[in-house]
Amino acid sequence: MRHKLPEVSARERDGDPVRLHVVTGKGGTGKTTLAAALALALAAGGGRVLLVEVEGRQGIAQLFGTPPLPYEERPVADTPGGGRVSALAVDAEAALLEYLEIFYGMRRAGQALTRFGAVDFATTIAPGMRDVLLTGKATEAVRRRVGDRRRGGRDTPAAPHVYDAVVLDAPPTGRVAQFLNVNAEVAGLARVGPIRNHADKVMETIRSPRTVVHFVTLLEEMPVQETLDGVAEVRAVGLRAGSVLVNMVRAEHVAAADLDAAAAGALDLGALERGAKAAGLDRPDAVARGLAAEMADHARRVRAEAEVRERLAGIDLPRYELPLLAPGVDRAGLDTLAGRLRAQGAV
Amino acid sequence: MSAGAPDGAAPAPFDVGALLADRATRIVVCCGSGGVGKTTTAAALGVRAAELGRDPVVITVDPARRLAQAMGLTELDNTPRPVPLPGAPGRLHAMMLDMKRTFDETVEEHADPERARQILANPFYQALSSSFSGTQEYMAMEKLGQLRHSGDWDLIIVDTPPSRSALDFLDAPERLGRFLDGRLIRFLSAPARSGAFRLLGAGVGMVTSVVSKIVGAQALRDVQSFVSAFDAVFGGFQERAEATYRLLQAPGTAFVVVAAPEDDALREASFFVDRLRADRMPLAGIVLNRVHGTAVPGLGADAAAAAARALEDTGEHPLAAAALRLHTERARVHEREARLRDAFTATHPEVPAAEVPARPEDVHDLVGLAEIGRGLTG
């Protein structure tokens, strides 16, 4: 990924290697938050970015403090330099109906399908169909160019892309390879026919060097293990891993020697007590004992974090660290995270 | 349990020990959103139940590798395996659900051998049984029903699948049932020239033609042959799903909602509590995982920050200043979590709550699970 300069036109920016950023992570790691921060980082300096969510959770609306997103691309944030992040909550049923209308002009048939429960059938049951519809929507936005008469129409190379980048808030790490491996998903289903062709087109975009998968993790064992597994799985199906985003990293206030002492239970209680007294705290002896216990706890956690950090270092991907923010991340928090992504060269 | 407790009141304590020790408790379902430590809680409850003299079996779905290893589980396996717990009066078993095999076994049980063979070989069935988004939930419930029905188990503890939404597993059996029993599938399975098609006329023809356009004719044929083979066993499936659903409502079943003291997790927990009530499912209480405490309870975040700043300004006592900074962070987390917990309690004053303190390291052995279990049960 390169820095985008604001004065570069969208057309010239077409040379930028990555256009679809898929963000995955174990539940609870802040995947949606970092997907939004990445979108803001990409839009900083004038980019047009689409942020897509597919899990029906309305996580984007919550983050940006907007009403629930409809099945429609809506601007959610402007960035300095004229950039803009739009967002879309993809719904598989709506995507299927839209797909039928676009490719077959079958709005009425679509309605009949709804009545017969066929939409339920196709999107919930037909394996892989749901994922193809969801990824199909995101990849269509990647390919879409200014002036396309209809969505999903031909990829006219002359016009600039509508979006400089698309960020997909994807399903969790454990499912992401399957989700993206569209070909395999529909292989058992449609050997020929329009869904097959549609899937091939989706797969072409997902397999292209312009698509990468980012893995959000915490400095904890389980998310790190899932990241290691996820990177291997994504690569096994021929897709590109982009980076590891280590989220909620705490600032370290304590000197290494003090941490060692704390871990060994050999902290200087007298020094703590004198400090507590100097700061005018009540019961400095009790405060000192409590502080020592907390520091010992902290030292154990730091050690555990160092271990998982070492395992992460074994992955041959760029690693970016994002700070732990006060909870209830809002736009200011997202901007902070976006700034950190840019400062580390992630975008 | 007192309805209408005032704001900020401590929740009714959730006596997990009494729940597990009560021989009338036969099923415990752990549910909650992903990433809150549901599987760990289920495993810890299992260990503790064995310590309390019960003979529990823990059904896990997709546990973290080291947690699985801690319980001696190495692969998907539909047979409960004994977990050695030296010194515990009860016997603990654990299993990792093999969704596809459970589905296969259920088909084999309900269909005659020839039909079962046809179903298992059908490409549509193979896809359905391994990747339908509700299959895992459905099969977890099916397995629960089987184990309960066998009568071999004193206490069954189920860890629900890591669904998109914590509610999925309650809906999945119905969704699968609705699909398999749906109008569309009846039409699809009717032979082309049968009465059904003639009666319904062009509408159905159009639908099948569209479905065929979308998925391809071969796939449609696979679905049709699956449906005609499956039709005979469907009644059995549906009955089972309904029986399991009733089992969940029956006395002897207890739902434990697992959450972490975070916005999203508590919101999901809140939905879940409401949903369980709407479905008349017996909610025993909520387990709040990873609650951060402080070792200097009297010192709030703001006071600690001010003290740290004062020391930093003098440049003396760097160790105490660092320790106070650390405490400030902890106290902030503690205060926020307390606020979130209080807000939850204010909305759901009748839901008993238990807390599990956050640990500096992940749990991946039986000793850690036992500690959590004991911490929960006092």
**Interface probe, candidates B36, B189, B215, B289, chain A, greatest A C-beta count within 10 A:** B215
Domain count, chain B: 1
The pLDDT tens digits of the residues spanning A136-157 come to 999 999 999 988 765 545 555 6
Q: Which domain holds residue B113?
A: 16-181+245-296+349-377
> Please, where in chain A does CATH 3.40.50.300 lie?
12-250+324-343
Q: Contact at 8 Å (CB) between B263 and A63? A: no
Q: Number of A to B CB contacts under 8 A, please give it.
A: 224
What are the tens digits of pLDDT across the range B1-24?
A: 333 334 445 668 999 999 999 999
Cβ distance of B317 and A191 shorter than 8 Å: no
- Which chain A residue is nearest to residue B122, measuring alpha carbons? A188
Do A193 and B214 lie within an 8 Å CB cutoff? yes
Which of A115-124, A127-136, A155-164, A209-218 is the least confident region?
A115-124
Q: Which region among B54-63, B145-154, B199-208, B358-367 has the lowest average model confidence (pLDDT)? A: B199-208
B39: exposed, middle or buried (C-beta count within 10 Å: 0-12, 13-18, 19+)?
buried
- B192 pLDDT more than 90: no
Label residue B197 by pLDDT band (50, 70, 90): very low
Which member of A116, A120, A272 has the closest CB to residue B323? A272
Span A114-118, average pLDDT:
61
Average of per-residue pLDDT values in chain B? 82
Nearest to B109 by CA among B149, B158, B75: B149
Say which of B131, B175, B317 has its CB closest to residue A271.
B317
Q: Which residues of B touch A250 (CB under 8 A)?
A: 329
Determine, yes or no, domain membership for B162: yes
Q: Of residues B176 and A172, which shows the higher confidence score?
A: A172
Q: CA distances (Å), A229 to each of A117, A176, B99, B130, in order? A: 37, 11, 21, 20
User: Is B179 close to A125, i.e. CB distance below 8 A?
Assistant: yes
CATH topology of domain A12-250+324-343: Rossmann fold (3.40.50)
Q: Is the pLDDT reported for residue B193 higher than 90?
A: no
Q: Considering only alpha carbons, which residue of chain B is nearest residue A63? A: B264
- With CB atoms and an 8 Å threshold, state whether B206 touches A129: no
Residue B224 lies in a domain: no
What does DSSP say about strands A74-79 and A83-89: parallel, antiparallel, or unpaired? Answer: antiparallel
Q: Which of A88, A107, A87, A85 is nearest to A96 (CA)?
A: A107
Q: Residue A256: which residues within 8 A CB-CB, separation 6 or more?
A: none
Instruction: Please check the confidence at residue A5 and state whether its pLDDT lies above 50.
Output: no
Least confident of A310-314, A326-330, B293-297, B371-375: A326-330
User: Which domain CATH number covers B275?
Assistant: 3.40.50.300
Nearest by CB: B216 against A56, A191, A281: A191
Tens of pLDDT, residue by residue over B311-320, are 999 999 999 9
For the record, the structure tokens of B49 come out as: 């139940």
Residue pLDDT, tens place only, B122-137: 877 877 777 655 677 7
User: Is A68 within 8 Å of A104 (Cβ atoms)?
Assistant: no
Mean pLDDT of B314-340: 94
Helix (H) or strand (E) holding B260: none
DSSP A13-47: GGG-S--EEEEEE-TTS-HHHHHHHHHHHHHTTT-
Q: Among A204-213, A224-233, B220-229, which stretch is predicted with the lowest mean pLDDT?
A: B220-229
Task: Tell whether the model's pLDDT for residue A247 goes beyond 90.
Answer: yes
The two tokens of residue B281 are 């499912």
The residue in chain B having the minimum alpha-carbon distance to the alpha carbon of residue A279 is B307
Q: Which of B214, B299, B311 sits opposite A195 (nearest CB)?
A: B214
Chain B residues in contact with A327 (beta carbon < 8 A): 262-263, 336
**Residue B335 domain-assigned (yes or no):** no
Give the three-class secondary structure for B293. Answer: coil
Average pLDDT for chain A: 85
The residues pairing with B157 across neighbouring beta strands, listed in sequence order, are B28, B58
Check residue A149 and give its pLDDT.
Answer: 60
Instruction: Check pLDDT > 60 for residue B66.
Output: yes
In-domain check, residue B70 = yes
CB contact under 8 A, A128 and B35: no
CB-closest option in B66, B162, B361 to A27: B162
CB contact (8 A) between residue A113 and residue B66: no
pLDDT of residue A333: 96
> For residues B10 and A335, which has the higher predicted lDDT (pLDDT)?
A335
Nearest CB neighbour to A327, from listed B184, B324, B336: B336
Question: Is the Cβ pair B307, A276 closer than 8 Å?
Answer: yes
**Inter-chain touch A301–B360, beta carbons under 8 Å:** yes
Mean pLDDT of A53-79: 92
Q: How confident is the model at residue A97 (pLDDT cuts 50, 70, 90)?
A: confident
A164: left (phi over 0), alpha (psi -120 to 50) or beta: alpha
d(CA A285, CA A274) in angstroms, rounded, equals: 9
For the cut 80, the answer to whether the pLDDT of residue B235 exceeds it is no
Beta carbons of B211 and A125 less than 8 Å apart: no
CA B276 to chain centre: 13
pLDDT, tens digit (0-9, with 9 covering 90-100), for B88-132: 999 999 998 888 888 898 888 888 899 899 889 887 787 777 765
Residue A118, pLDDT score? 60
pLDDT at A36: 98
CB contact under 8 A, A122 and B321: no
Is it the case that residue B75 has pLDDT exceeding 60? yes
Q: What percentage of residues in chain A have a pLDDT greater than 70? A: 82
Tell me what the mean pLDDT of segment A32-56 comes to. 95
Provide the 10 A C-beta neighbour count for residue A197: 12
Q: Do A304 and B362 touch (CB under 8 A)?
A: yes
Tell me, what's the ipTM? 0.76
